[in-house]
């Protein structure tokens, strides 16, 4: 079973990076406000990737969450928020952009990743330690 291990000292960037090792055409963004399935999150409520998860969760405890390919996006998002107290959205690559998966929350992580791989533009020339500017938003 594929697992994402969550420890209080991990930044949101590190959690996303580990998720992307399994699903390179998906990424996680973390928010201050709860959302329902098939509902989007406002970018103004996004939590910067540089923050440690234990700083934004009211009831944080170390643990893990399953990220098997057959898990539905809506189930993953709901379980993550319930366990760690931090709302999360799964985004899928679409060419040069990233889309919230709100219209396809019923798809599995595997299906989302496969869809994102079609026509994906992946930059592999980034130096070690490279950080996306979005990390500091």
pTM value is 0.83
Residues 133 and 67: their CA atoms lie apart, in Å, by: 26
Q: What is the pLDDT of residue 68?
A: 95
Q: What is the pLDDT of residue 95?
A: 86
User: Cα(first)–Cα(last) distance of the chain, in Å?
Assistant: 33
Q: What is the pLDDT of residue 130?
A: 44
For 112-126, what is the HEC assignment?
A: HHHHHHCCCCCCCCC
Domain residue extents for the chain: 3-136
Q: What is the pLDDT of residue 135?
A: 46
Q: What is the pLDDT of residue 122?
A: 52
The Cβ-side half-sphere exposure at 110, using a 13 Å CA radius, reads 6
How distant, in Å, are the alpha carbons of 78, 100, 116 from that of 105?
Answer: 11, 9, 14
Residues 100 and 93: their CA atoms lie apart, in Å, by: 9
pLDDT by residue, tens only, the chain of 137 residues: 899 999 999 999 999 999 999 999 999 999 987 777 676 777 788 999 999 999 998 788 899 999 999 999 999 999 999 999 999 999 999 988 999 898 899 999 999 999 999 866 555 554 444 444 454 44
Residues 65 and 82: their CA atoms lie apart, in Å, by: 11
Residues 94 and 114: their CA atoms lie apart, in Å, by: 11
């Amino acid at each position: 079973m594929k697992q994402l291990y969550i420890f209080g000292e991990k930044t949101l960037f590190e959690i996303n990076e580990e998720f992307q090792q399994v699903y390179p055409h998906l990424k996680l963004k973390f928010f201050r406000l709860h959302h329902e399935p098939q509902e989007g999150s406002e970018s103004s409520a996004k939590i910067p990737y540089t923050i440690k998860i234990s700083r934004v969760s009211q009831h944080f405890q170390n643990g893990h969450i399953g990220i098997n390919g057959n898990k539905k996006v809506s189930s993953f998002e709901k379980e993550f928020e319930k366990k760690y107290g931090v709302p999360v959205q799964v985004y899928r690559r679409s060419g040069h952009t990233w889309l919230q998966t709100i219209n396809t929350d019923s798809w599995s992580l595997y299906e989302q990743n496969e869809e994102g791989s079609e026509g994906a533009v992946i930059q592999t020339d980034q130096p070690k330690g490279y950080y996306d500017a979005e990390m500091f938003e």
